[in-house]
């Protein structure tokens, strides 16, 4: 043993010079890498970031389940609209989050809110399956659309505003309402066969349709279901084009890119956000990082970032170039049910805003730049 | 040519004997000597000559003859020669004794020597040489003090007796008194400057020992000048050179050793040193030859031990442990005392360790430690042996000592860290980190295992960043670095392919990206992937697992992790496929099989699951506790499985489950999951107190460990609270559980929570929880049904209340409307899909709600009327109060006025009187003085009297007034009180009627509705009855409206069970990583 030690030492002595050289080389490598990273960070840092502006505690009496921006109209700036389990819909002025108005009229919790692109009217859905369409200015009810239980879930207005798409819950369909007659224009079934195909199994919730999203050009409509199915429709032909594979758990939120009509983002209970090419049905990226269900996703107006809200109580910002999470906000203390970027437009509104709403009864506003 | 001439007796002739040609037989010489009566000194000469030629026998023969009694008699006068002969014999035997190893013979030789010396003493007591001889003898015997005194006597006889001086020097040297020894040698040199070179050698040795290497060297050199062939001096110089550790000197030393070797090839010391040198140069062959020579050259045990050691070491380093062990043992056998030469013990220990003979190895290392208690290497070896023997505590102590002695010993820190893994993770991590920083400081190559272990420990403590740093450091450069940063070469984000990625890897390889995964790094990559998985960066985790499988498809754990991840995303078919792939690689992998069983259970494939689990059991002889546990769960599910319930079967299944859980607990008393299972079975049997104890303990244990996530036990504990009617506690427990483990997303727990509220009759809370649950799981229509029930209950309860406001009634009416709406919508749905309710039942509820609504109208009217009346009453009361107030004010005013008036009157009167008095005074003034006085008195008295009277009057007035007021109040009370009482009565009657009606309705509409609180068990029993009696349709769930909720009670233990299976699955995998790390580590130490 003594001998072994001795010879070892001798070996070390000889190898010393060589190793030192290697060490130096590695050092140099590391340095260059650091530099590169620093440069990257610099670039990124200049590009996107969110910063908390204000968190309004107890914005509602109960969990806030839905939030969206009502676009600016008639000299009125964009308003933040929130819906809550306390059965009310509230409108807020940015940046102070002052209450503009509180609408009642729903029984049971408000699960979804949607705003017309013109910013004049809006819709809200509650657990009692009523869709209430109202005038933003006057809060006059324009239409009350009743559906069967839980046959109304998330909604979205057509980018041009002619149609309102309502996720049809247990009916396994998406209903398209004409925004002038308030008659159902079309019913798009999430099935390639007929109704009898659809079975709601207890375990997965089957094809219970949770959410809908219009593509930028309004030609495509995507909807998502409890079992993770995502269906893409050709709206003009009223035809189901294809399904997107990859999720096997509820997809509660989905949104098309505002810059590329093909690209769709989906948020699922499987803790992932998927990025799909809707035309050739490929999964471009699966972004992970949330510790629990991803409840909500929205794309920034410039299309370079997405924000997600999760039941892990965080809001995350993702860079779409690297497809990596670059920021995590911890302003909420319970599930974050909604994240929403303020649409561009309106007077003097050049800065980006992101809002989030949470089960903890609060809403938060962030600066996005 | 040296000759000896023996004078022939009585002549002048002499016999010439050539010394070189001594007759072979000493008897010839003896004959001559005896015959010629040769002088004794000649005898001596011959004996000496024989001795020189190594003919001991002849030497002895002559001397013994020369010391025989006849000779003594004959040569009686020749004192000196006789003494010399005896002394020579004594010295001879002394020497023999010194060399002899066997104690008995040694003693005998010494005895003989003593005998001869004693004989000498008889002849002449004062002969110094005798004393010297005796001294030598005692020196040889090791009795230094006595020998010293002998030499002293000799010196007293003859002051400058050189041999005695030398003897004393020797004694002093051996006593370690080097200075004294040196002085003696110096004296000798002064007395006898021409003395042999060996005296200077002695000086040199003393100087050397005194730490005067320069002077020592001079002395040795002088010795060599005098005697160029003095091997000892050469060797001593050589050793000195070697010890300088300077390359040149070492070289010089070696030449000296070689010179010594050439002069005297049999100097064992030189041979050993030469062998030592050649060992380090790796010339094992030369070592062996040298040692062979050394064995011939010396009988000295220590020298021999050295030689054996050299040989053994040579074999040891060649890896020939068997022979090394033989030689080490031979070396050890040569030694009497480990203190003389400890290295062979160490070597032997090492070799025995290698050969797996832990026990003897341990004893050898312990011997080393006796001599050198602070020897780190031996401590480590001992620690390692303890570890191997499972004596962890001792091993830990040993390593702790080693690290204390040498805080820079990396190996010891690593070993200690590993030992601590089982007991103290924090300390283990500290140990590893110390080793890590030591290695870093030393710029030594970092063992992958160490970094891996550091990473795993950080991982387990939840310090993910540190863990990642450690893993990345362990991995160095490679494709994984791309994965870690999330960017492929050229800053391309990782692609998202969930299934097979081999294509992608091939493509990368074609692009020139190296995907090599060295065998030593698989574990680290696996752990890194686990880390990413834990941080929910599953894309990176997946690609790493797939990378491992791409290069090492047999790495089953990666397959299983991928399968687990797919399962977590609910992709059951992919998960199954991956498990099957793992099983293709390794058919009997218990982990993979367990996973498959779990999947089958999830897919409701009961029989297959059972088969799979039983398969594991038979493979592992029932030792695999996971499958035992899973089988327990299986039986439990089977017992509580909904529809077709057979009480007998249920009991057997429960019993079987209990048995299995207990079996696990016998094998592993710390198994939380089995304990939990046992608690569940006991709770199922109604033994709430015991099960509560169990759950509480499990909960405590689980909260103490951050790696264990066990929400089930929280839920079960809450269930027990519900069972015992402690709803408040149950609610708290469910809420904590939801928050802590599920991010408030688990609808089943929400359902339990709602149920607790329901049982506690907190309808609003119940409803709000259910609404949250619906929001989370909108496709679960049962929740809507439950919510409707809660609302209906709320309304009923509110309407039945004896006192309630119109607002409350209105609220209950609107709730009722909501409930009705939900019920009717559900009835619409249930005709279309099967959601697990009975249409009739819903219809019944719809009807009931409608009835209730009608009834509520009356209530509402009544309430509104009441409200109206209340308002009126309030108005009246207000008016009355106002009137009263006004009246009171007026009265007061009046009184005030009256008083004022009175006072004014009085004042007037007084004034009048005064006036009158003045007037009288005027008249009195005229009259006499005395009279005036009297009048004055009188007047005063009168005034006083009046004042008193007035006071009295006022008092009475006050009394009166208060009395008046009192009576007024009373009156008022009467006025208000009576009608009110009447109203209340009316209302009460009405309320009672309504309540009766409602109650009647309740009973009418649904006899077994069980809306009112009832204990859970009877309800269940009744349901069973229903099933048994009437073979109606599936009564399981849709039996009664309330049953939808109690049903949870049944599912309650079922659902968490599901979960717990998953958890325990995860648990096994987590530990598998830790094991992995450990395994890895062990293999490292093996390779060392």
pLDDT tops 70 at residue A103: yes
* Residue A103, H or E segment: strand A98-103
In this predicted structure, what is the pLDDT of residue A110?
93
**For B417-426, what is the mean pLDDT?**
79
Chain A residue with CA closest to B477: the answer is: A26
Q: Supply B830's token pair.
A: 């249930």
Quote the pLDDT of residue B945.
41
| Distance linking the first and last C-alpha atoms of chain B | 67
Tell me which chain B residue has its CA closest to the CA of residue A19: B443
Structure confidence at residue B639 as a pLDDT band (50, 70, 90):
confident
Query: Do A275 and B496 count as a contact with CB atoms less than 8 A apart?
Result: yes
Interface subset of A 199-218, CB within 8 angstroms of B? 199-200, 202, 204-206, 208, 210
Residues B98-104: contacts with CB within 8 Å, 24+ apart? B98/B140, B99/B299, B101/B299, B101/B301
Q: Give the whole-angstrom CA distance, residue B262 versus residue B297.
A: 13
Please name which of A144, A29, A125 lies closest in space to residue A84, comparing C-alpha atoms: A125
Task: Name the residue among B307, B254, B241 with its Cα closest to residue B281.
Answer: B254
Cβ-Cβ contacts under 8 Å, A270 against chain B: 568-570
Answer yes or no: do B494 and A285 touch at CB < 8 A. yes
Taking the CA of residue B462 and the nearest CA in chain A, the distance in Å comes to 14
The nearest alpha carbon in chain B to A171 belongs to: B829
Which is higher by pLDDT, A106 or B137?
A: A106
In this prediction, what percent of chain B has a pLDDT beyond 70? 77
Q: Pick from A352-356, B310-314, B496-500, B713-717 the range whose average pLDDT is largest.
A: A352-356
DSSP A361: S
What's the CA gap between A267 and A228, in Å, rounded?
10
Question: Cβ contact (<8 Å) for A286 and B772?
Answer: no
The partner residue sitting opposite B818, judged by closest CB among A108, A289, A312, is A108
| A351, A79 contact by CB (below 8 A) | no
Which residues, 6 or more positions from B87, have their beta carbon under 8 angstroms from its beta carbon? B116, B117, B120, B129, B130, B133
Would you call A313 and B743 a contact, using CB atoms and an 8 Å cutoff?
yes
Q: Which helix (H) or strand (E) holds B932?
A: helix B929-1005
Predicted pLDDT of residue B706: 64
CB contact under 8 A, A23 and B443: yes
For residue B863, pLDDT beyond 70: yes
* Residues B1025-1041, mean pLDDT to the nearest whole number: 30
Residue A51 near residue A355, CB atoms below 8 Å: no
- For B1042, which DSSP code? G
Q: Please check whether residue B86 is in contact with residue B113, taking contact to mean a CB–CB distance below 8 angstroms.
A: no
Nearest CA in chain B to A109: B771
Q: Which of A165, A212, A213, A207 is nearest to A185 (CA)?
A: A165
Residue A62 distance to chain B (closest CA, Å): 9
pLDDT band with cut points at 50, 70 and 90 for residue B264: low
* CA distances for B383 relative to A2, A361, B379, B937, angstroms: 19, 60, 6, 126
Given a contact cutoff of 8 angstroms between Cβ atoms, the answer to whether B158 and B189 are in contact is: no
Cβ-Cβ contacts under 8 Å for B454 (sequence gap 6 or more): B429, B432, B433, B436, B470
Which residues 115-134 of chain A have a CB within 8 Å of chain B? 127-129
Does position B684 have pLDDT exceeding 70, yes or no?
yes
What is the model's pLDDT at position A24?
A: 53
**Which pLDDT band, with edges at 50, 70 and 90, does B967 fall under?**
very low
DSSP class of residue B445 equals: P
Beta carbons within 8 Å of B378's beta carbon, 6+ residues apart: B346, B349, B365, B368, B369, B372
Residue pair A255/A213 in contact (Cβ under 8 Å)? The answer is yes
Confidence of residue A25 (pLDDT cuts 50, 70, 90): low
Secondary structure class of A277 (helix, strand, coil): strand
Winning range, highest mean pLDDT, from A239-243, B113-117, B782-786, B1073-1077: A239-243
CB count within 10 Å of CB B812 equals 28
Run of H or E residues at A50: strand A50-56
A84 sits in which H/E element = strand A79-84
- As a whole number of angstroms, the longest Cα–Cα distance in chain B is 211
Question: How far A10 CA sits from the closest chain B CA (Å)?
Answer: 10
Q: How far apart are CA B58 and CA B19, in angstroms?
A: 14
Report the pLDDT averaged over residues A161-183.
89
pLDDT given at position B629: 86
On whether any CB of chain B is under 8 Å from the CB of A194, the answer is: no
Say how many CB pairs under 8 Å bridge A and B: 149
Task: Identify the residue with better confidence: A25 or B274.
Answer: B274
Above 60 in pLDDT, residue B916?
Answer: yes
pLDDT per residue as tens digits for the range A185-212 = 888 888 765 444 444 444 445 788 999 9
Q: Is A309 in the B-facing interface, judged by CB distances under 8 Å?
A: no
List Cα–Cα distances, A197 to A189, A223, A226, A238, in angstroms: 11, 18, 16, 19
Radius of gyration of chain A (CA): 25
Tokens of B431: 């140990």
CA distance B64 to B58: 10
B296 has pLDDT over 90: no
Cα–Cα separations (whole angstroms), residue B249 to B201, B228, B916: 21, 20, 154
- Contact between A136 and A78 under an 8 Å Cβ cutoff? The reply is no
Among B377, B379, B775, B845, most A C-beta atoms within 10 A, so best to mutate, is B775
Provide the pLDDT for residue A263: 94
Residue B520 above 60 pLDDT? Answer: yes
pLDDT reported for residue B989: 35
The residue with greater pLDDT, B1074 or A239, is A239
Structure tokens at B55: 């003919």
Determine the 3-state secondary structure of A255 from DSSP: strand
What CA–CA distance (Å, rounded) separates B331 from B316? 14
Output the average pLDDT for chain B: 73
**Are A150 and B781 a contacting pair at CB < 8 A?**
yes
Which residue of chain A is at minimal alpha-carbon distance from B571? A248
Residues of A in contact with B781 (CB under 8 A): 149-150, 170
pLDDT above 50 (res B656): yes
Pairing outcome for strands A209-214 and A184-189 = unpaired
Whether B496 sits inside 8 A of A111 (CB atoms) is no
- Model ipTM value: 0.85
The phi and psi torsions of B685 (rounded to 5 degrees) equal -85, 0
What residue of A is the nearest CA neighbor of B822? A149
| Omega cis (within 30) before B1073 | no
pLDDT tens string B381-414: 888 888 778 777 888 888 888 888 878 777 778 8
User: For B635, how many CA atoms within 13 A lie in the half-sphere containing its CB?
Assistant: 22
More confident residue, B291 or A311: A311
Q: Which of the four pLDDT bands, split at 50, 70 and 90, describes residue A44?
A: very low
């Amino acid at each position: 043993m003594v001998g072994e030690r001795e010879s070892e030492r001798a070996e070390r002595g000889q190898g010393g010079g060589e190793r030192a050289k290697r060490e130096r080389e590695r050092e140099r490598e590391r340095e260059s890498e650091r530099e590169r990273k620093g440069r990257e960070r610099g670039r990124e840092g200049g590009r996107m970031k969110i910063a908390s502006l204000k968190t309004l505690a107890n914005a509602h009496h109960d969990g806030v389940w839905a939030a969206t921006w009502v676009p600016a109209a008639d000299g009125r700036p964009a308003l933040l609209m929130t819906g809550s389990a306390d059965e009310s819909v509230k409108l807020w002025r940015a940046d102070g989050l002052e209450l503009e108005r509180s609408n009642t009229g729903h029984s049971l919790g408000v699960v979804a809110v949607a705003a017309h692109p013109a910013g004049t009217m809006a819709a809200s859905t509650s657990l009692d399956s009523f869709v209430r369409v109202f005038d933003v200015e006057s809060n006059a009810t324009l239409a009350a659309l009743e559906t069967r239980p839980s046959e109304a879930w998330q909604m979205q207005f057509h980018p041009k505003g002619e149609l309102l798409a309502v996720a049809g819950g247990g009916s396994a369909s998406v209903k398209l309402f004409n925004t002038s007659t308030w008659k159902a224009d079309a019913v798009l079934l999430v099935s390639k066969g007929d109704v009898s195909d659809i079975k709601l199994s207890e375990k997965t919730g089957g094809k219970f349709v949770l959410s809908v999203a219009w593509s930028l050009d309004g030609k495509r409509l995507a909807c998502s279901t409890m079992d993770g199915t995502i269906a893409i429709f050709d709206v003009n032909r009223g035809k189901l084009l294809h399904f997107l594979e990859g999720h096997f758990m509820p997809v509660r939120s989905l949104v098309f890119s505002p810059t590329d009509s093909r690209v769709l983002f989906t948020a699922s209970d499987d803790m992932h956000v998927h990025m799909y090419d809707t035309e050739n049905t490929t999964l471009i990226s699966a972004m992970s990082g949330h510790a629990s269900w991803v409840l909500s996703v929205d794309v920034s107006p410039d299309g370079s970032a997405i924000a997600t809200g999760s039941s892990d109580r965080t809001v995350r910002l993702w860079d779409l170039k690297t497809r990596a999470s670059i920021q995590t906000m911890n302003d909420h203390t319970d599930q974050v049910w909604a994240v929403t970027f303020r649409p561009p437009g309106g007077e003097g509104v050049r800065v980006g805003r992101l809002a989030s709403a949470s089960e903890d009864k609060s809403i938060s506003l962030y600066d996005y730049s | 040519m040296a000759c000896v001439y023996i004078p022939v007796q009585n002549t002048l002739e002499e016999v010439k004997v050539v010394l070189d040609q001594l007759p072979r037989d000493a008897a010839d010489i003896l004959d001559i000597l005896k015959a010629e009566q040769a002088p004794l000194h000649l005898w001596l000469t011959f004996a000496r000559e024989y001795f020189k030629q190594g003919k001991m026998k002849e030497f002895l023969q002559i001397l013994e003859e020369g010391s025989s009694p006849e000779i003594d008699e004959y040569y009686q006068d020749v004192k000196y020669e006789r003494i010399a002969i005896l002394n020579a014999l004594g010295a001879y035997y002394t020497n023999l004794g010194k060399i002899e190893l066997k104690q008995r013979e040694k003693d005998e030789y010494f005895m003989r020597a003593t005998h001869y010396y004693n004989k000498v003493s008889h002849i002449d007591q004062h002969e110094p040489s005798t004393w010297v001889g005796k001294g030598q003898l005692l020196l040889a015997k090791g009795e230094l003090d006595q020998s010293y005194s002998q030499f002293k006597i000799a010196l007293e006889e003859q002051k400058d007796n050189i041999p005695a001086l030398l003897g004393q020097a020797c004694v002093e040297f051996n006593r370690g008194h080097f200075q004294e020894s040196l002085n003696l040698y110096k004296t000798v040199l002064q007395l006898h400057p021409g003395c042999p070179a060996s005296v200077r050698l002695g000086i040199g040795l003393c100087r050397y020992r005194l730490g005067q290497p320069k002077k020592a060297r001079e002395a040795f050199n002088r010795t060599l000048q005098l005697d160029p062939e003095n091997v000892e001096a050469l060797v001593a110089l050589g050793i000195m050179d070697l010890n300088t550790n300077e390359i040149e000197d070492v070289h010089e030393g070696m030449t000296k050793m070689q010179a010594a070797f050439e002069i005297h090839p049999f100097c064992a010391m030189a041979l050993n040193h030469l062998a030592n040198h050649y060992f380090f140069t790796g010339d094992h062959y030369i070592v062996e030859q040298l040692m062979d020579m050394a064995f011939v050259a010396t009988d000295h045990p220590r020298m021999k031990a050295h030689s054996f050691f050299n040989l053994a070491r040579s074999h040891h380093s060649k890896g020939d442990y068997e022979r090394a062990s033989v030689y080490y043992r031979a070396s050890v056998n040569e030694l009497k005392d480990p203190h003389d030469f400890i290295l062979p013990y160490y070597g032997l220990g090492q070799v025995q360790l290698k050969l797996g003979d832990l026990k003897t190895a341990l004893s050898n290392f312990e011997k080393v430690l006796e001599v050198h208690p602070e020897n780190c290497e031996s401590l480590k070896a001992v620690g390692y042996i303890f570890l191997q023997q499972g004596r962890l505590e001792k091993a830990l102590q040993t390593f702790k000592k080693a690290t204390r002695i040498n805080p820079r010993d990396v190996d010891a820190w690593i070993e200690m860290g590993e030992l601590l893994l089982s007991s103290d993770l924090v300390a283990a991590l500290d140990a590893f980190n110390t080793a890590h920083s030591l290695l870093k400081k030393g710029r030594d190559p970092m063992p992958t295992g160490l970094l891996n272990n550091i990473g795993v420990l950080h991982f387990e403590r939840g310090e993910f960043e540190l863990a990642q740093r450690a893993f990345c450091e362990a991995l160095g450069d490679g494709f994984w670095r791309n994965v870690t940063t999330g960017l492929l070469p050229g800053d391309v984000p990782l692609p998202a392919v969930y299934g097979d990625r081999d294509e992608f890897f091939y493509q990368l390889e074609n692009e020139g990206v190296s995907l090599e995964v060295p065998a030593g790094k698989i574990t680290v990559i696996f752990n890194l992937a686990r880390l990413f998985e834990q941080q929910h960066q599953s894309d990176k985790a997946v690609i790493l697992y797939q990378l491992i499988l791409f290069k090492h498809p047999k790495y089953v754990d990666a397959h299983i992790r991928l399968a687990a991840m797919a399962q977590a995303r609910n992709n059951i078919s992919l998960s199954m496929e991956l498990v099957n792939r793992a099983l293709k690689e390794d058919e009997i992998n218990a982990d993979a099989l367990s996973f498959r069983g779990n999947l089958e259970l999830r897919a409701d494939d009961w029989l297959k699951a059972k088969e799979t689990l039983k398969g594991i059991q038979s493979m592992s002889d029932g030792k695999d506790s996971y499958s035992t546990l899973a089988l327990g769960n299986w039986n439990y599910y089977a017992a509580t499985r909904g529809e077709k319930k057979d009480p007998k079967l249920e009991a057997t299944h429960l019993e079987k489950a209990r048995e299995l859980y207990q079996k696990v607990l016998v094998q592993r008393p710390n198994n939380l999951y089995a304990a939990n299972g046992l608690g569940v079975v006991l709770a199922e049997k109604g033994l709430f107190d015991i099960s509560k104890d169990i759950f509480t303990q499990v909960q405590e244990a689980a909260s103490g460990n951050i790696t264990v996530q066990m929400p089930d036990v929280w839920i079960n504990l809450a269930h027990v609270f519900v069972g015992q009617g402690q709803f408040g506690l149950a609610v708290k427990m469910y809420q904590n559980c939801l928050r802590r483990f599920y991010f408030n997303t688990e609808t089943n727990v929400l359902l339990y929570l709602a149920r607790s509220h329901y049982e506690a009759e907190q309808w609003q809370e119940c409803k709000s929880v259910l609404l949250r649950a619906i929001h989370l799981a909108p496709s679960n229509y049962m929740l809507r049904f439950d919510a409707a029930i809660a609302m209906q209950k709320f309304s009923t309860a509110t309407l039945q209340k004896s006192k309630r406001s119109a607002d409350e009634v209105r609220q209950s009416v609107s709730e009722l409307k909501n409930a009705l709406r939900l019920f009717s919508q559900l009835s619409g749905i249930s005709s279309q899909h099967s959601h697990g309710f009975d249409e009739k039942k819903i219809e019944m509820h719809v009807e009931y709600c409608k009835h209730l609504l009608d009834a509520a109208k009356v209530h509402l009217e009544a309430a509104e009327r009441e409200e109206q009346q209340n308002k009126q009453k309030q108005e009246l009361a207000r008016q009355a109060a106002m009137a009263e107030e006004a009246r009171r004010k007026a009265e007061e005013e009046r009184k005030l006025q009256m008083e004022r008036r009175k006072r004014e009157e009085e004042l007037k009167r007084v004034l009048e009187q005064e006036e009158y008095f003045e007037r009288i005074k005027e008249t009195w003034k005229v009259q006499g003085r005395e009279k005036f006085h009297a009048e004055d008195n009188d007047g005063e008295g009168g005034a006083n009297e009046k004042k008193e009277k007035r006071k009295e009057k006022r008092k009475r007035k006050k009394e009166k007034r208060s009395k008046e007021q009192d009576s007024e109040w009373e009156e008022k009370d009467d006025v208000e009180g009576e009608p009110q009482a009447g109203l209340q009565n009316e209302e009460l009657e009405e309320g009672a009627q309504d309540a009766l009606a409602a109650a009647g309705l309740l009973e009418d509409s649904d006899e077994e509705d069980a809306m009112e609180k009832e204990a859970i068990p009877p309800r269940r029993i009744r349901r069973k009855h229903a099933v048994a009696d009437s073979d109606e349709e599936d009564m399981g769930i849709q039996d009664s409206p309330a049953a939808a909720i109690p049903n949870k009670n049944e599912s309650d233990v079922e659902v968490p069970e599901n979960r717990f299976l998953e958890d325990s699955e995860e648990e096994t995998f987590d530990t598998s990583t830790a094991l992995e790390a450990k395994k890895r580590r062990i293999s490292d130490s093996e390779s060392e």
